[in-house]
Amino acid sequence: MANTTKQLTNTEVKQAKPRDKEYYLADGKGLQLRVRPNGTKQWLLKYFKPYTKKRTNISLGQYPATSLSKARKETLEYRELLADDVDPREYRLEQKQIGREACENTLYLVYQKWLKTKEGAWSKSYRKRLTQALELHIMPALGAIPISKINAPNTIKIMEPIADRRALETVRKLCRWINEIMVFATNSGLVDANRLSGIGKAFKPPDVTNMPAIKPEFLPQFLKDLDQAHNEVTTKCLIFWLLHTMARPSEGAKAKWGEIDMENRLWRIDPSRMKKRRPHIVPLTDQTMQLLETMKPISQHREYIFPSRSNPKAAINSETPNTAIKRMGYKGVFVAHGVRSLASTVLNEQEFPADIIEVSQSRVGKDSVRAIYNRAEYLEQRRVMMQWWSDYIEEAAKGKEPFEGIKSKKHLKMVQI
């Protein structure tokens, strides 16, 4: 049956006068204007609840703040919900809750929640660098904004001054970290999608610079300079330790006596100190065992193998080897981290299997299948290769070129995989 209710006009709504009792003016489709004795006018939508079919109503606002046309528009929207068996009152309460949560979930609060999920996953130093960068560059401008309102244009605008200073590596890291926060928010249901997924494309990528490393033919001279330099025993031993183990400076500097398995001649590095948070085992050679013997009188009674001069209970600073190498005249030519590149060059030239070299340096290639394959430790093959490398260094220290006997290919038969 057609709806024959006469629709209200703006004039009728405006001129409706209060009476002794409240009364209603119908507009059709359940929309009514309630006029109270005190003169207030309120729009109501009367409807039957889905499934239960109980009669109820929902307020659409007071007149004149809510006009007749606006009340009609909301009526149509709610009628569409009812056609899908959705209660308008419950829908509105749900939308208010979503809006309230959106306002409460600011970028800073979501960032704090994200940090909690990362507890134990990062080293203290990495966590400190990350939080300092985000709280210096991002949070002051965006921290108080609901995460649902964070968008790419505003975020890019905030990072443009950093890019203008050519701090492109900082920009790259900020883009990655804030993307991780947005992915966390998306997976947590706080936002529908990550609006910042492509912001890194708005900036020039940082220039990739390799760590300065000498060529193999200059190793004898470097070792001669190292032997003649006036370095402390701990510093000198650490540089040799990095050379022989191919460890990163931060890993070598914080090596602990508790990580050394003397019986099996292994250095088991705690995963928390590794770059990828993976456990790493280094076979110890005759030369590295001798370095430990040299350090025993100095630090065996302490936690760290290479203790700090100013505070023996702490580890030596990982930059100390670089400082010593610079004083030797190798500034811009060689750094402690460069020993890894030097070792990789020599070992690859000697045709050692690439997988064994990568595992020895705790690297994971971009090829995911190969990365899984590389999880094998190849411990016995690595013992052979590491001892070969230590012997190579020892021959270089004697100034022998081209290292007679060391360049033989006999070792390759012992490291086949």
Across the range 62-80, mean pLDDT stands at: 93
- Asked if residue 210 is part of any domain, the answer here is no
Asked if 73 and 49 sit in the same domain, the reply is yes
Q: How far apart are CA 163 and CA 131, in angstroms?
A: 19
* Whether pLDDT at 366 is above 70: no
- Asked if residue 402 is part of any domain, the answer here is yes
Expressed as residue numbers, the domain containing 138 is: 107-202
Tell me the whole-structure pTM to 2 decimals. 0.56
**Mean pLDDT, the chain, as a whole number?**
86
- Asked if residue 5 is part of any domain, the answer here is no
Asked if 383 and 291 sit in the same domain, the reply is yes
CATH number at residue 164: 1.10.150.130
Q: Which of 103-117, 121-135, 200-214, 297-311 has the lowest mean pLDDT?
A: 200-214
Final residue of a domain: which of 101, 117, 138? 101
Asked if 247 and 317 sit in the same domain, the reply is yes
Chain segment 162-197, per-residue pLDDT in tens? 988 888 889 999 999 999 999 999 998 888 889 998
Q: How confident is the model at residue 416 (pLDDT cuts 50, 70, 90)?
A: low
Asked if 190 and 81 sit in the same domain, the reply is no
pLDDT of residue 338: 85
pLDDT of residue 371: 46
Asked if 235 and 370 sit in the same domain, the reply is yes
* Whether pLDDT at 403 is above 70: no
Across the range 47-56, mean pLDDT stands at: 91
CATH number at residue 225: 1.10.443.10
- Asked if residue 126 is part of any domain, the answer here is yes
Chain segment 306-333, per-residue pLDDT in tens? 999 999 999 999 999 999 989 999 888 8
CATH number at residue 80: 3.30.160.390
* Whether pLDDT at 140 is above 70: yes
Chain segment 235-246, per-residue pLDDT in tens? 999 999 999 999
Asked if 253 and 393 sit in the same domain, the reply is yes
Across the range 57-67, mean pLDDT stands at: 93
Asked if 96 and 112 sit in the same domain, the reply is no
Asked if 297 and 170 sit in the same domain, the reply is no
- Asked if residue 157 is part of any domain, the answer here is yes
* Whether pLDDT at 412 is above 60: no
- Asked if residue 211 is part of any domain, the answer here is no
Percent of the chain with pLDDT over 70: 87
Closest CA to 342 of 235, 221, 188: 221
Asked if 246 and 373 sit in the same domain, the reply is yes
Asked if 329 and 360 sit in the same domain, the reply is yes
Closest CA to 373 of 356, 393, 391: 356
Final residue of a domain: which of 171, 202, 233? 202
Amino acid at 183: V
Q: How far apart are CA 253 and CA 74, in angstroms?
A: 68
**Cis bond before residue 402 (omega within 30° of 0):** yes
- Asked if residue 3 is part of any domain, the answer here is no
Asked if 147 and 62 sit in the same domain, the reply is no
* Whether pLDDT at 410 is above 70: no
pLDDT of residue 369: 44
Give the bridge partners for 35, in sequence order: 23, 41
Q: How far apart are CA 216 and CA 93, in angstroms?
A: 72
pLDDT of residue 276: 64
Across the range 73-85, mean pLDDT stands at: 92
Across the range 226-240, mean pLDDT stands at: 93
pLDDT of residue 192: 87
C-alpha to C-alpha distances, 390 to 263, 289, 335, 340, 394, nearest whole angstrom? 19, 11, 19, 13, 6
* Whether pLDDT at 148 is above 50: yes
Asked if 228 and 354 sit in the same domain, the reply is yes
- Asked if residue 4 is part of any domain, the answer here is no
pLDDT of residue 270: 83
Beta strand residue intervals within 183-323, DSSP E: 260-261, 266-269, 280-283
Total domains in the fold of the chain: 3
Q: How far apart are CA 23 and CA 71, in angstroms?
A: 18
Across the range 93-97, mean pLDDT stands at: 77
Final residue of a domain: which of 101, 122, 148? 101
